[in-house]
Amino acid sequence: EVQLVESGGVVVQPGGSLRLSCVASGFIFDDYAMHWVRQSVGKGLEWVSLVSWDGLKRHYADSVKGRFTISRDNGKNSLYLQMNGLRPEDTALYYCARGSLATTGRIPDSWGQGTLVTVSS
Protein backbone atom coordinates (compact mmCIF):
# COMPACT_ATOMS: atom_id res chain seq x y z
CA GLU A 1 0.00 0.00 0.00
CA VAL A 2 1.29 3.43 -0.97
CA GLN A 3 1.79 5.70 2.04
CA LEU A 4 2.90 9.31 2.04
CA VAL A 5 3.28 11.05 5.40
CA GLU A 6 3.94 14.78 5.50
CA SER A 7 5.34 16.71 8.46
CA GLY A 8 6.82 20.08 9.34
CA GLY A 9 3.79 22.31 9.13
CA VAL A 10 3.65 24.98 11.87
CA VAL A 11 2.73 28.59 12.47
CA VAL A 12 5.45 30.90 11.12
CA GLN A 13 5.77 34.67 10.84
CA PRO A 14 5.73 36.45 7.47
CA GLY A 15 9.20 36.43 5.97
CA GLY A 16 10.12 33.28 7.83
CA SER A 17 11.35 29.92 6.58
CA LEU A 18 10.14 26.36 6.95
CA ARG A 19 11.05 22.93 5.62
CA LEU A 20 8.35 20.37 4.94
CA SER A 21 9.12 16.66 4.74
CA CYS A 22 7.32 13.68 3.26
CA VAL A 23 8.28 10.07 3.93
CA ALA A 24 7.15 7.51 1.36
CA SER A 25 6.58 3.78 1.68
CA GLY A 26 4.87 0.96 -0.18
CA PHE A 27 6.50 1.64 -3.56
CA ILE A 28 9.95 2.07 -5.12
CA PHE A 29 10.46 5.74 -4.32
CA ASP A 30 13.26 6.43 -6.78
CA ASP A 31 11.14 5.22 -9.71
CA TYR A 32 8.74 8.15 -9.34
CA ALA A 33 8.59 11.90 -9.76
CA MET A 34 7.07 13.63 -6.74
CA HIS A 35 4.83 16.68 -6.28
CA TRP A 36 3.83 19.22 -3.70
CA VAL A 37 0.28 20.54 -4.04
CA ARG A 38 -1.39 22.98 -1.63
CA GLN A 39 -4.93 23.91 -0.69
CA SER A 40 -6.01 26.95 1.28
CA VAL A 41 -8.86 26.36 3.72
CA GLY A 42 -12.12 26.21 1.82
CA LYS A 43 -10.36 26.79 -1.51
CA GLY A 44 -9.26 24.77 -4.51
CA LEU A 45 -6.07 22.89 -5.30
CA GLU A 46 -2.90 24.71 -6.34
CA TRP A 47 0.04 22.80 -7.81
CA VAL A 48 3.31 23.95 -6.21
CA SER A 49 6.27 21.95 -7.45
CA LEU A 50 7.57 18.72 -8.98
CA VAL A 51 10.94 16.96 -8.81
CA SER A 52 11.98 14.20 -11.18
CA TRP A 53 12.85 10.72 -9.92
CA ASP A 54 16.57 11.53 -9.89
CA GLY A 55 16.23 15.05 -8.49
CA LEU A 56 17.72 16.66 -11.58
CA LYS A 57 14.59 18.29 -12.97
CA ARG A 58 12.51 20.68 -10.89
CA HIS A 59 9.47 22.76 -11.80
CA TYR A 60 7.63 25.40 -9.81
CA ALA A 61 4.43 27.42 -9.82
CA ASP A 62 5.02 31.07 -10.62
CA SER A 63 3.70 32.01 -7.16
CA VAL A 64 6.56 30.22 -5.38
CA LYS A 65 9.41 30.40 -7.88
CA GLY A 66 12.54 31.83 -6.32
CA ARG A 67 11.23 31.30 -2.76
CA PHE A 68 10.58 27.55 -2.53
CA THR A 69 12.99 24.70 -3.32
CA ILE A 70 11.95 21.08 -3.82
CA SER A 71 14.41 18.27 -3.19
CA ARG A 72 14.52 14.57 -2.42
CA ASP A 73 16.72 11.97 -0.76
CA ASN A 74 16.11 8.62 -2.43
CA GLY A 75 18.20 6.83 0.20
CA LYS A 76 15.73 7.97 2.83
CA ASN A 77 12.57 7.69 0.68
CA SER A 78 11.96 11.34 1.47
CA LEU A 79 10.72 14.46 -0.28
CA TYR A 80 11.29 17.99 0.97
CA LEU A 81 10.04 21.51 0.38
CA GLN A 82 12.22 24.37 1.63
CA MET A 83 10.03 27.45 1.94
CA ASN A 84 11.67 30.86 2.33
CA GLY A 85 10.23 34.36 2.35
CA LEU A 86 6.86 33.05 3.49
CA ARG A 87 3.79 35.20 2.91
CA PRO A 88 0.28 35.07 4.41
CA GLU A 89 -1.00 33.79 1.07
CA ASP A 90 1.20 30.70 1.48
CA THR A 91 -1.07 29.58 4.32
CA ALA A 92 -2.45 26.21 3.23
CA LEU A 93 -2.55 22.47 3.68
CA TYR A 94 0.45 21.10 1.79
CA TYR A 95 0.09 17.69 0.17
CA CYS A 96 2.88 15.41 -0.94
CA ALA A 97 1.89 13.34 -3.97
CA ARG A 98 3.43 10.68 -6.18
CA GLY A 99 3.62 11.30 -9.93
CA SER A 100 1.92 8.71 -12.11
CA LEU A 101 4.24 6.63 -14.29
CA ALA A 102 1.53 6.56 -16.96
CA THR A 103 1.83 10.34 -17.35
CA THR A 104 5.64 10.61 -17.07
CA GLY A 105 5.11 11.77 -13.52
CA ARG A 106 3.08 14.85 -14.35
CA ILE A 107 -0.19 13.74 -12.73
CA PRO A 108 -0.35 12.95 -8.99
CA ASP A 109 -1.83 9.48 -8.51
CA SER A 110 -1.39 8.97 -4.74
CA TRP A 111 -1.60 11.64 -2.07
CA GLY A 112 -0.71 12.06 1.58
CA GLN A 113 -3.04 13.62 4.13
CA GLY A 114 -1.23 16.93 4.19
CA THR A 115 0.56 19.18 6.69
CA LEU A 116 -0.79 22.61 7.63
CA VAL A 117 1.32 25.71 7.19
CA THR A 118 0.07 28.96 8.71
CA VAL A 119 1.84 32.23 7.98
CA SER A 120 0.75 34.84 10.46
CA SER A 121 2.19 37.41 12.84
Partner 1 sequence: EIVMTQSPATLSVSPGERVTLSCRASQSVSSDLAWFQQKPGQAPRLLIYGASTRATGIPARFSGSGSGTEFTLTIASLQSEDFGFYYCQQCNSWPLTFGQGTKVEIK
In the complex with partner 1, the residue whose CB is nearer, 87 or 107, is 107
- Restricted to residues 40-59, the positions that interact with partner 1 (CB under 8 A) are 44-47, 50, 59
Which of the ranges 16-24, 68-76, 77-85, 97-105 carries the binding residues for partner 1, by CB under 8 A? 97-105
Q: Tell me how far, at minimum, the Cβ of 87 lies from partner 1, in Å.
A: 18
In the complex with partner 1, the residue whose CB is nearer, 69 or 100, is 100
Task: Tell me the H-state helices in 34-120.
Answer: none
Burial of 67 (0-12, 13-18, 19+ CB in 10 A): middle
| Distant-in-sequence, close-in-space partners of 14: CB < 8 Å, separation ≥ 6 | 86, 87, 88, 119, 120, 121
With CA atoms as reference, report the closest residue to 119 among 62, 64, 61, 45.
Answer: 64
Which residues here bind partner 1, judged by CB under 8 A?
Answer: 37, 44-47, 50, 59-62, 95, 100, 102-103, 106-114
